[in-house]
A and B are shown apart, each in its own frame.
Chain A
């Protein structure tokens, strides 16, 4: 799986958009970009994933650059409950196999009043 690079920490004011960047310059054509988050000592939580098109769900938006070497997770209106460590994970998704998640160091997002 491709290696990812994320800033170790970021701050965001409540109600503002949080934009979390991720570099994955060695991503392969069959590898997806996944985002998970972990709120203090809880189990990691899936947020969103994408291959090359931008994606949006009820939690967040994922913007992937055209060359796929980087992406940005956007939380449109951050709340205090979004304070967590956010992990960007790149991995291939193969039908019929149990594909592990390889967690890097992630970005610790602190949402403040």
Chain B
């Protein structure tokens, strides 16, 4: 079965650079979530989108922005990168269709961002 695809899987950036992470949800999933997991930390919710509209916002820095496109893929844009932004970034998707899978979030393999 198709899973959530994230690219790139690894990314190395310098401080003050920008980074763009991409997420391709499972086909027919209309909802995308972004989570950040720092070293030794638990995943923390950043932002979510439902039908291309921002749905919820967590502890996402103002330097970060995200959007969901017409094909439902999503991009997380990170500017003025700081050392503390080094983390695993997970994207998850879900379907709002009624049925057993509603709100069951399927996670991608993550993008490991290292800021030097």
Main secondary structure of the interface of B (DSSP, over half): strand
A45 to B58, CA, bound (A): 21
- Given A95-B96, A98-B56, A100-B58, verify A43-B42 contact (CB < 8 Å): no
Q: Interface residue tally of chain B, by bracket?
A: 20 to 34
Name the interface size band of chain A. 20 to 34
Please state if B103 and A99 are interface contacts (CB–CB under 8 Å).
yes
Residue B55, interface by CB 8 Å: yes
Chain A residues with Cβ under 8 A from B55's Cβ? Answer: 97-98
Q: A13 CA to B56 CA in the complex, in Å?
A: 41
Counting chain A CB atoms within 10 Å of each CB, which of B33, B44, B48, B107 scores highest?
Answer: B107
Give chain A nearest CB distance to B113 CB in angstroms: 13
Within the complex, the shortest CB–CB distance from B67 to chain A, in Å, comes to: 14
Tell me the dominant secondary structure on chain A's binding face. loop
Question: Does A29 touch B at the CB level, under 8 Å?
Answer: no
> Which of A93, A100, A106 lies in contact with B45, CB distance below 8 A?
A100
Contacts of B88 in A (CB 8 A): 41
Residue of A nearest to B98 (CB): A95
Could you mark each residue 17-59 of chain B with 1 if its beta carbon is under 8 Å from any beta carbon of chain A, else 0?
0000000000000011101000000111100111000011010
Is A104 an interface residue when CB atoms closer than 8 A count as contact?
Answer: yes
Query: For B78, what are the chain A residues with a Cβ–Cβ distance below 8 Å?
Result: none
Is B33 within 8 A of A44, CB to CB? no
| Contacts A42-B110, A43-B110, A49-B104; A98 near B4 (Cβ below 8 A) | no
Chain B residues near A103 (CB, 8 Å)?
A: 42-44
* A87 x B105 contact (CB < 8 A): no
Q: Does B102 contact A (CB under 8 A)?
A: yes
Q: In the complex, A85→B37 CA distance in Å?
A: 13
State whether A43 touches B92 (Cβ < 8 A): yes
Residue of A nearest to B48 (CB): A98
Residues of the A chain whose Cβ atoms lie less than 8 Å from the Cβ of B32 = 98
Instruction: List the 8 closest A-B pairs by CB distance, nearest first.
Output: A43-B107, A98-B55, A98-B48, A100-B45, A103-B42, A98-B50, A98-B31, A46-B104
